[in-house]
Amino acid sequence: DDLHVLRSAYLNSYFQTGYKNLMDAAIIKKTEEVESADKELEDLSEAYTKLDEIPFDFKRRRLSVVVRGSEGTTVMVTKGAVEEMLSICTQVRDEDAVKDLTAEVKTKILHMVSCLNDRGFRVLALAVKDNPSPVGAFNVSDECSMCFLGILAFLDPPKESVASTLAALRSHGVTTKILTGDNTQVTRTICKAVGLEVSSILEGSDIEDLSDTQLCERAQTTTVFAKLTPEQKARIVRVLRECGHTVGYMGDGINDAAAMKQADIGISVDSAVDVAKESADIILLQKDLGVLEQGIIGGRKTFANMVKYIKMTASSNFGNVLSVLISSAMLPFLPMQSIQLILLNLIYDLSCTAIPWDGVDREMIERPRAWNASSIGKFMICFGPISSIFDVLTFAVMFLVICPLCVSGGIVWWDLPSVYSGAQLANIRAAYCMLFQTGWFVESMWSQTLVIHMIRTSKIPFIQSNASWQLTLCTSCAIALLTLIPFSPLGAVLGLCPLPLIYFAYLAICVLLYMVLTTLCKKLYIHHYGELL
C-alpha cells in the first residue's frame, strides 16, 4: 500500500472530464476513506488546479491530466494499461528515490502484474512527469520520458449467479462469448471462476489481420475475445449476425454501446452509463443474471404460443372455407347463417385470448426457434382438411339421418314435395334447415375449440400434456355456451333450435374420431417435417 500512489491516482481520476468509470469511482472513494491518515490526501481537489488533459482512447490506452499545485509546480499524471504505460516511462520511483527503468525492473513489474491478473485483479499503471509543455502546447508527444510511479489493482468479482446462469443458458442452446477490453490473464481467471471453458483467446491485435470471412470462422469457434476496442466488439457482433446467428449483447460501459447497436438485442443494467442504456433494447432492473434465463424462456414461450395461434387459426379457417365450398355444391340451402357464423367466430376468438397464458412443452423451449412462414402453408394444408372431413360427415348425417328422423318423419329433403305441399312444405323445410344449421353450428365449435388442445402440443392432449387452467377454462366455457345457446331464447333469435339426444350421441363419436385422426396426422407430420410448430 502506498498513499503517494493513491494521491496521484486521485488527481488523475478526479480532474479528468471524461466518463468516470467504476475504477475512477473506487480511487476517489478510497482516497476519501483514508484521507485522515495522511494530511497530503486532504482537500486535494482544492489544493490543485487542472490545466490540461489528454482524454483516454483505445489506441494509447491511457489518460493524462496536467495539474498545478498550490506551491506553483506543474505535474502531468498519466494512468493506463501497464504495457502501454511502461512504453513511455524511462524512470521508476523506488520508495523515495528515482531510478532508471531497467529491463530488470520492467520484468519485476510485469511479474507482479501477472500475479495479480492470475488472482483476478484488473491492474492499471500510474506515471508522472514534472513541468510538461505549457497550456496550448501540451499534446500526446508529452507522454514520454515519464517516471513510473506504481500500480493500481482492482478486484471486480463476478456475481454469484453467473456460473448457474451460464449453465442454464447452455442448457437452452445459448452460446456465451466474452468480449472484453481486459487482458487475457484477467479474462481467463474470471472465466475459470464462472465455469466457462476457454480453449483459446483471440486478441484485438489478431482481429485486425483477419478478413470478415476469416473472423466469422474464428468467432464461431472462439469463446473469449480480449483486449478489444469498441469497434472490434461491434465488428465481431456484426460478423456473427452475418453468419446467421441471432446475437444478444450485454454491456454497461461506453465501449459497449456500438456492439449493442449492432446486436439483434442489446441488454444493459440500470446502473450502466447513460449511453449504454440508450443503446440497449432491454434494461435489467434486478441485480441477478438469472433474469436473462427467465427472459429467454419467456420469449420462447411467447413465440411458441404465437405460432400456435397462427397455425391453428389458419388451418381452422382453411378447413371452414373448404367446408363451405363443399356444402355450396352439395346442399340446397346455406349450411349456416351469417349471424351464426359471426357468433361462432366471436366466441372462438374469445376463447383463444387465453393462449398467451398457455404452458409450453419443455421440448419447445430447449433450443431457439426461427420464424418460418412457409411452415404455415404446410400446416394449414395438412390439418385444415381434417376438420372438413368431419364437417362433410356432419353434413351427411344431419341431412340424411337426423333431420329426416326428427323433422319429416324419415322423409329426406328431395322427397318432401311428394308428401307435403304449400305452407306445410315450407314449414317443414324451414325446420329441416334450422336443425341442420344448429347441428353444424355446435359441431364446428367443438372441432374448432378442441383443435386448440390437439395442436398446442406434439404429445397426446389431456394425457401427456395439459393446457394451462386459463386456456382450459376459456375453451370449456366457450363449448358449453355454444352448446347451450340453441336451448335458450337467444337461440330462437339466432335461427337455432334445440338438438335431439341422437345428435349428441353422434357428436361424441365424431369428436372422438376427430381427435384420433388429428393425433395420427400429428405423428405423420412430425415424422416428415421434424417438428409440429
Distance between CA 141 and CA 139 in Å, rounded? Answer: 5
Environment class of residue 414 by beta-carbon count within 10 Å: exposed (0-12), middle (13-18) or buried (19+)? exposed
For residues 233 and 128, give the distance between their C-alpha atoms in angstroms, rounded to a whole number.
32
Q: How far apart are CA 414 and CA 47, in angstroms?
A: 110
H helix or E strand, kind and range, residue 122: strand 121-130
Q: Which residues pair with 98 in a beta bridge?
A: 93
Q: Determine the 3-state secondary structure of 294 from DSSP.
A: helix
What is the Cα–Cα distance from 125 to 237, expressed in whole angstroms? 30
pLDDT of 427 reads 84
Closest among 190, 252, 195 to 226, alpha carbons compared: 190
Contacts 24+ apart (CB under 8 A), 237-246: 237/179, 237/262, 237/263, 238/262, 239/212, 239/215, 240/216, 242/212, 242/216, 243/216, 243/219, 245/220, 246/368, 246/370
Give residue-wise pLDDT tens across range 263-275: 999 999 888 888 8
Cα 193 to Cα 89: distance, rounded to the nearest angstrom: 34
Taking the C-alpha atoms of residue 87 and residue 326, their distance in angstroms, rounded to an integer, is 85
Give me the pLDDT at residue 198, please: 81
The pLDDT assigned to 376 comes to: 84
- Of 499, 490, 522, 524, which is closest to residue 443 (Cα–Cα)? 499
Question: Quick one: pLDDT at residue 448?
Answer: 82
- Cβ-contact 234, 195 below 8 angstroms: no
Residue 288 above 80 pLDDT? no
CA 402, 406, 409: angle at the middle one, nearest 5?
A: 110
C-alpha span between 223 and 205 (Å, rounded): 17
Residue in 110, 118, 134, 471 with CA at minimum distance from that of residue 308 = 471
Local confidence band at 160 (pLDDT 50, 70, 90 cut-offs): confident
When pLDDT is averaged across residues 503-514 and rounded to a whole number, the result is 90
Strand-pair partners of 284: 269
- Dihedral of the alpha carbons of 432, 434, 437, 441, in degrees to the nearest 10: -140
Asked whether the beta carbons of 453 and 462 are under 8 A apart, the reply is yes
pLDDT in tens, 317-361: 888 888 888 888 888 888 888 898 899 888 888 888 888 888 887
Question: 394 or 161: whose pLDDT is higher?
Answer: 394
Residue 505 has a pLDDT of 92
Top pLDDT among 91 and 458 is at 91
Question: Per-residue pLDDT tens for 430-442?
Answer: 888 899 889 988 9
Q: What is the mean pLDDT of residues 223-251?
A: 90
Q: Over the chain, what is the mean pLDDT?
A: 86
SS (H, E, C) 170-191: HHCCCCCCEECCCCHHHHHHHH
Query: Rounded to an integer, what distance in angstroms lies between the CA atom of residue 459 and that of residue 112?
Result: 61
The Cβ-side half-sphere exposure at 124, using a 13 Å CA radius, reads 24
DSSP letter at 456?
Answer: S
pLDDT at residue 9 in the model: 92
Where in 56-120 does DSSP place strands (E)?
A: 62-69, 74-80, 89-94, 97-100
Half-sphere exposure of residue 45: CA atoms within 13 angstroms, side-chain side? 8
| 226 CB neighbour count, 10 Å cutoff | 21
pLDDT higher than 90, residue 420: no
CA atoms within a 13 Å half-sphere pointing along the CA-CB vector of 447: 33
Q: Which amino acid is at 71?
A: E
- Which candidate, 28, 128, 29, places its Cα nearest to that of 79? 128
Residue 100 or 273, more confident = 100
What dihedral angle (degrees, nearest 10) is formed by the CA atoms of 167, 170, 172, 174?
130
Q: Which of 453, 450, 306 is nearest to 390 (CA)?
A: 450
Average pLDDT over residues 79-84: 90
User: In the structure grid, which three cell numbers stand for residue 250, read together?
Assistant: 450485454
Q: Answer whether residue 161 shows pLDDT above 80.
A: no
